[in-house]
Amino acid sequence: MFQPVALPLWLLVVILLFAAVTFASHFLFPSVRWFFRRRMEKAVAQLNTRLTRPIEPFKLARRHDMIQRLIYDGAVWAAISDHAKSEGVPENVAFERARRYAREIVPSFSTTFYYGFAIGLARFISRRLYRVRLGHHAAETLANIDRDATVVFVMNHRSNMDYVLVTYLAAEQSALSYAVGEWARVWPLSRLIRAMGAYFIRRKSRGDLYRRVLARYVALATEGGVTQAVFPEGGLSLDGALAKPKLGILRYIVDGYDPETRDVVFIPVAINYDRVFEDKILVAAGQRGDRRFGARISVVLKYIWRITWHWATGRYHRFGYAAVSFGAPVSLRAVSADAPAEIDALAEDLMHRIGAVVPVLPVPLAASVFLAAKAPLSHTDYSEAFVALVDAMPEAHIHAPREDMAYALEYGLRNLVGRGFVSEAEGRYQITEEGQPLVQYYANSIAHLLR
């Protein structure tokens, strides 16, 4: 029994390797995971003391656990059963399809990544690219909202920069959970976006099972107090104007709302820019009547390289002003106090509140002046029309650079001329043929405030 046994060296190495893996998986790894989990919980508890809206346990749950909770939810089981009957497939096949949808939708939020990297990157990008202005922050309003209520920021969608800008500006409020489309399901971008707590949606999906799985996830996240950010327009504006709301995510939130649980408070958020990076791509798509943007990765990388080179050589200038304003919140509990909320009326009300607080910036103002002109304008004519336009919007959230309206009108004119949208000849200014659709695009962002 105690006699030595001769073994080949390779077999001894294999045995020792298996022993090491077994020891690590049963004793070492659980201890290490527990150690880091405890440290993370303490860090989150400390972070929550600084946030207006604390990060709820639902958002911190392990992704595997959240997927299991979703696919074994009663409403999802009913959807699986209905799908199996309607499609004539075994329930285990329908179940696997629902599991695949759940794995596709559920994020894997990382507090360390979000607050240790993403917020800093969002701040850096926002400040390097724009002069950021925050109007009507409604800090007092946010402070007066029930701390246990679920907050949903409802925003207009001008640019993919919206995600970065609002993430940065909302950093002191809470960690936001976005609904993102198919464009973000590209590795490694998808891993980064999941780590930020965003969940993927198929905007063109017509499958009932998928929609019911997604609806249940949104309802669970809302019930769990996750602070969300949604774009009711459903996509980027192709003409610069506010679009009619699409009811998908809003309907899921409202239909899954239980008045006996925590309240849901919608906060309208309006965003505007002096320059939208994708403006020419969006306008071209609008003219074609489709949403195929065709922005190749090579074009994006070339654009980033050009900006970096200009910055390194001291020739870089930021792309104007970007502003965000917050409107009056809407409590779902108050809306549905007497009867269930009507989703169409709620969506229209939210879009109206967003439109009312859209920031008015120099370039959209200058674009509106030239769009309304019937003939080329002298500098004096332009200045007088600019001031008259400002006076026609007494309740608008107007952001004048340096608090100087004279500088604002010069700034707006300089940007339009610099991009070739407006030309000057013999001291008179007029829209160029190529610039007409772009001038219209920027003017549309504030046109509703002039009606």
Cα dist from 113 to 40, 167, 175, 281, whole Å: 12, 13, 11, 31
Tens of pLDDT along 153-173? 999 999 888 888 888 887 777
Question: pLDDT value at position 133?
Answer: 87
Tens of pLDDT along 313-347? 777 677 889 999 988 899 998 888 767 778 999 99
Per-residue pLDDT averaged across 93-111, rounded?
A: 89
Question: pLDDT value at position 139?
Answer: 61
Question: pLDDT value at position 136?
Answer: 60
Question: pLDDT value at position 435?
Answer: 93
**Comparing 66-277+320-357 with 360-450, is the CATH topology the same?**
no
Q: In this structure, what are the phi and psi dihedrals at residue 230, rounded to the nearest 5 degrees?
A: -130, 155
Question: pLDDT value at position 336?
Answer: 82
Q: Which residue has the higher pLDDT, 291 or 259?
A: 259
Structure tokens at 311: 């910055």
Contact call for residues 175 and 111 (beta carbons, < 8 A): yes
Question: pLDDT value at position 256?
Answer: 87
Q: Do the bridges between strand 199-200 and strand 177-180 make them parallel or antiparallel, or are there none, so unpaired?
A: parallel
CATH class of segment(s) 66-277+320-357: alpha beta
Per-residue pLDDT averaged across 64-69, rounded?
A: 90
Reply yes or no: is the peptide bond before residue 188 cis, omega within 30 of 0. Answer: yes
Planar angle of CA 384, 386, 391, nearest 5 degrees: 95
Question: In this structure, what is the dihedral angle of CA atoms 258, 259, 262, 263, given to the nearest 10 degrees?
Answer: 110
SS3 assignment for 126-173: HHHHCEEEEECCCHHHHHHCCCCCEEEEEECCCCCHHHHHHHHHCCCC
Residues in the chain: 451
Residue type, 232: P
Tens of pLDDT along 292-319? 766 555 666 676 677 777 677 777 677 8
Structure tokens at 310: 């200009």
Maximal C-alpha separation, the chain: 107
Question: pLDDT value at position 95?
Answer: 94
Question: pLDDT value at position 38?
Answer: 56
3-state class of 282 per DSSP?
helix
Cα dist from 441 to 107, 117, 186, 190, 412, whole Å: 35, 34, 29, 31, 15
**Beta-strand (E) ranges in 365-444?**
377-378, 397-398, 422-425, 428-431
Signed CA dihedral, 212, 217, 220, 226: sign only: negative
pTM for this predicted structure: 0.83
Question: In this structure, what is the dihedral angle of CA atoms 233, 239, 241, 247, given to the nearest 10 degrees?
Answer: -10
Q: Which residue, among 344, 145, 354, 149, has the nearest Cα to 250 in the 3D structure? A: 344
Distance from chain centroid for Cα 445: 19
Question: pLDDT value at position 46?
Answer: 60
Domain boundaries, the chain: 66-277+320-357, 360-450
Indicate the range of 126-135, 167-176, 441-450 predicted with least confidence. 167-176
Q: Which residue, among 188, 168, 177, 157, has the nearest Cα to 278 in the 3D structure? A: 157
Per-residue pLDDT averaged across 356-362, rounded?
A: 93
- Can you tell me which residue has the tokens 């096949």? 93
Question: pLDDT value at position 34?
Answer: 47
Distance from chain centroid for Cα 195: 14
Q: Which residue has the higher pLDDT, 36 or 363?
A: 363
Tens of pLDDT along 235-288? 889 999 999 998 888 999 998 888 888 899 999 999 999 999 888 989 998 888
pLDDT band at 146 (very low <50, low <70, confident <90, very high): confident
Residue type, 226: V
Q: Which residue, among 412, 364, 421, 329, has the nearest Cα to 237 in the 3D structure? A: 364
Tens of pLDDT along 170-219? 777 778 888 777 555 555 556 667 777 788 787 776 689 999 999 999 99
Q: CA–CA separation, 398 vs 358, rounded Å?
A: 9
Domain 360-450, CATH number (from 2.40.10.120, 3.30.230.10, 3.30.70.870, 1.10.10.10): 1.10.10.10
Number of Cβ within 10 Å of residue 114's Cβ equals 21
3-state class of 306 per DSSP?
helix
Question: pLDDT value at position 40?
Answer: 53
Q: CA–CA separation, 5 vs 19, rounded Å?
A: 18
Question: pLDDT value at position 257?
Answer: 86
Q: In this structure, what are the phi and psi dihedrals at residue 87, rounded to the nearest 5 degrees?
A: -95, -10
Indicate the range of 74-78, 260-264, 337-341, 380-384 predicted with least confidence. 337-341
State yes or no: pLDDT of 35 exceeds 50: no
- How does the average pLDDT of the chain come out, rounded? 83
3-state class of 327 per DSSP?
coil
State yes or no: pLDDT of 58 exceeds 80: no
